[in-house]
Amino acid sequence: VTPSPAATFATRLVRAFAALGVQHAIVSPGSRSQALALALAAIEAEGRITLHVRIDERDAGFTALGIARESGRPALVVTTSGTAVANLVPAVVEASHSGLPMIVLAADRPARLRGTGSNQTTWQPGLFGRFVRAEADVEAPLPGVIPDARALAAEAFAATAGGADGIAAGPVHLNLQFVEPLSGEVEAEGDPVVAETAAAGGAEAEGASRPGVEWRHPLVPSFAPAPPVGLHLERGHRTVVIAGADAGEKANEFALAAGWPLLAEVSSGARFGPNLVVLYRELLAHPDFGGRVERAVVFGHPTLSREVPALLARDDVETVVVRGAGEPVLPHPGAVVVDEVTADPEVRSDRAARAWVGQWVFASRELLEADADEVAAPLTGSGAPDDLAGARDFARAELAALRAPISRRALALAVWRATWPHDRLVLGASRLIRELDAVASGKKIPVHANRGLAGIDGTVATAVGIALASQTAPLAASEAGSSASRVRAGTTRVLLGDVTLLHDVGGLLMGSGEARPRIQLVVGNDGGGTIFDSLEVAGTADRDAFDRVLFTPHRVGIAALAAAYGWEHRLVTGRGDLDSALASPPGGPSILEVPLPR
Ligand SMILES: Cc1ncc(C[n+]2csc(CCOP(=O)(O)OP(=O)(O)O)c2C)c(N)n1
């Protein structure tokens, strides 16, 4: 084994990231990236990082996204050169829009080979366009000239966390050129080059952590730096608080303190509390409610209704947008974007103000009760021992309720009921998240959904990342404990459509011998993408053409798919079995398939 500058640099780099607090790394196999992959395997053996192996880089990227969603910390994603890096684009773009950290370590061949037709070589720098907060093209480590790994890691770690000048967290791309020998012996710490850089301390100019490193800081215009702005709102305007995706609890606290109705989407993290208006869509469309709104305060990224964008587009509604993790929402040219918002506290004696919030909450409750689940609860018999007819009716009604087919709404509500604060709920894009948003009552549970761009891609891998991060205690807290003590309770339940599952079949594949988290994919199988049935085109287009290119029918056997990937599978067709199947999922990965009518 010869000493390898590549191995030395890779080892220093991954150690530096672990020292900064990175807990998870995802590796996809490849030759050019071997030094990074082997270095990670070595530090995992020392208990300093948790390593996950994914063959498909798309899934590696979304697994990292899920880990960041759940933990708030970046994971490392290691790929080889060429199309391998390009496969990270979907996860990187979603992470950018959602304001989530992620550190891409993309191996590359030397820069001089770009544009020469050299195998597996392309222009990797710039590949992620404006969707990375920072990008460095790093020349290959050579004997005696090894890039300063600690400085690189520190700069990447700071850039992915955002924060400076109001820039949101987001992905970072370290493009790492390597030449042969691509792996080998690791040189001891304290070699002359590292010592020399350390002695220079922080005196080096920004962008020159080492010769041979070129930093670029692309910017999404909407993330442009801006000085922090605060705003105080006075009482007296009929105001609603809107909580879109990832709004978080602060939206709830604000609505409560100010005494205003809270219109919180199911993926907002704020859907609970006394001011919650569950049927906000119906009320926004009503002239006595939506029609009377004068001011809206927006947290997070509203994506689930048509009524919220319609409200925010109105000239007679003053809109205040509170910046959060993701890309700021700019629904109207007159909208005011702030970093902090406060309001006069609710005054109990202000009857007009109390009536405003009370009307919204009350009307929503009334409507919800009127629209209760369509299958009635079993009748109660008289209980008299000789009432045979009554007992028979009771038994029949009970049986009918248990055998009743499962509607989309019943499925969504059953999943909501089964989920508790120690669990995680992940919602795929498409109909089921909207169905749940239409009816879910207030409940303080952790909900995740990739609503940055609302893609149906990467849902399984994102959820696996969330499960891995939520079911593993932080490494530092468990140093003394056995691996068993690092396992936390709870199930990650994922509510998704069949097409969304099929888009990310690769997400079912986990590295051999790795932790298999307790995750339950609840698949509403209606044989295609039925969301399009509700669009105008469904009524105007040729039926067969519509089905072929929009509905996209399939006959994939989900049970066989599950078996192929070693996931448990259960098919549930009646309501009687649904609650118990959701309440007691298997200990590892499983799929609960629920056939739904188109
Ligand atoms: C990556 C990506 N490709 C395409 C779409 C467009 N799209 C939105 S929903 C959908 C169909 C989803 O079908 P399914 O998961 O079965 O849910 P259903 O509509 O039946 O509820 C598609 C293709 C998207 N959002 N993201």
Cα 529 to averaged position of ligand 1 atoms, centre (Å): 6
Does the Cβ of 429 fall within 6 Å of ligand 1? yes
Cα 453 to averaged position of ligand 1 atoms, centre (Å): 12
**CA separation (Å) from 68 to 22, 78, 86?**
10, 16, 20
pTM of the model: 0.93
**CA separation (Å) from 411 to 280, 406, 427, 431, 559?**
21, 6, 13, 12, 19
Does the Cβ of 459 fall within 6 Å of ligand 1? no
Cα 535 to averaged position of ligand 1 atoms, centre (Å): 13
Residue linked to tokens 């029918």: 553
Question: Ligand 1 pocket: which of 499, 535, 551 to mutate (most atoms <8 Å of CB)?
Answer: 499
Reported as a single tens digit per residue, the pLDDT across 68-95 is: 999 999 999 999 999 999 999 999 999 9
Does the Cβ of 497 fall within 6 Å of ligand 1? yes
Cα 45 to averaged position of ligand 1 atoms, centre (Å): 40
Calculate Rg over the CA atoms of the chain.
27
Q: Smallest Cα–Cα separation from 275: which of 297, 253, 301?
A: 253
Q: Return the ligand 1 atom nearest residue 497 CA.
A: 15
Cα 430 to averaged position of ligand 1 atoms, centre (Å): 5
Helix (H, G, I), strand (E, B) or coil at 243: strand
Predicted local distance difference test score (pLDDT) of residue 553:
98
Strand partners, 318: 295
Does the Cβ of 499 fall within 6 Å of ligand 1? yes
Q: Return the ligand 1 atom nearest residue 430 CA.
A: 9
Tens digits of pLDDT across the chain (598 residues): 678 999 999 999 999 999 999 999 999 999 999 999 999 999 999 999 999 999 999 999 999 999 999 999 999 999 999 999 999 999 999 999 999 999 999 999 999 999 999 999 999 999 999 999 999 999 999 998 999 999 999 999 999 998 777 788 999 999 999 999 999 999 887 554 443 444 444 334 344 445 579 898 887 666 666 777 899 999 989 999 999 999 999 999 999 999 999 999 999 999 999 999 999 999 999 999 999 999 999 999 999 999 999 999 999 999 999 998 888 888 899 999 999 999 999 998 999 999 999 999 999 999 998 877 555 454 455 667 778 888 888 888 888 888 888 999 999 999 999 999 999 999 999 999 999 999 999 999 999 999 999 999 999 999 999 999 999 877 765 444 444 444 567 999 999 999 999 999 999 999 999 999 999 999 999 999 999 999 999 999 999 999 999 999 999 999 999 999 999 999 999 998 999 999 999 999 999 999 999 9
Predicted local distance difference test score (pLDDT) of residue 385:
72
Residue linked to tokens 């119906």: 282
Q: Whose CA is nearest to atom 13 of ligand 1?
A: 529
**CA separation (Å) from 535 to 153, 327, 330, 430, 540?**
48, 27, 25, 12, 10
48: how many CB neighbours lie within 10 A of its CB?
19
Does the Cβ of 408 fall within 6 Å of ligand 1? no
Q: Smallest Cα–Cα separation from 327: which of 167, 508, 107?
A: 167
Cα 499 to averaged position of ligand 1 atoms, centre (Å): 6
Predicted local distance difference test score (pLDDT) of residue 341:
96
Does the Cβ of 284 fall within 6 Å of ligand 1? no
Cα 528 to averaged position of ligand 1 atoms, centre (Å): 9
Q: Smallest Cα–Cα separation from 26: which of 1, 61, 58, 2?
A: 61
Does the Cβ of 283 fall within 6 Å of ligand 1? no
Cα 432 to averaged position of ligand 1 atoms, centre (Å): 11
Cα 547 to averaged position of ligand 1 atoms, centre (Å): 14
Does the Cβ of 94 fall within 6 Å of ligand 1? no
Question: Ligand 1 pocket: which of 406, 432, 500, 532 to mutate (most atoms <8 Å of CB)?
Answer: 500
Query: Distance between CA atoms of 82 and 114, rounded to whole angstroms?
Result: 11
Does the Cβ of 529 fall within 6 Å of ligand 1? yes
Cα 472 to averaged position of ligand 1 atoms, centre (Å): 31
Reported as a single tens digit per residue, the pLDDT across 538-574 is: 999 999 999 999 999 999 999 999 999 999 999 999 9
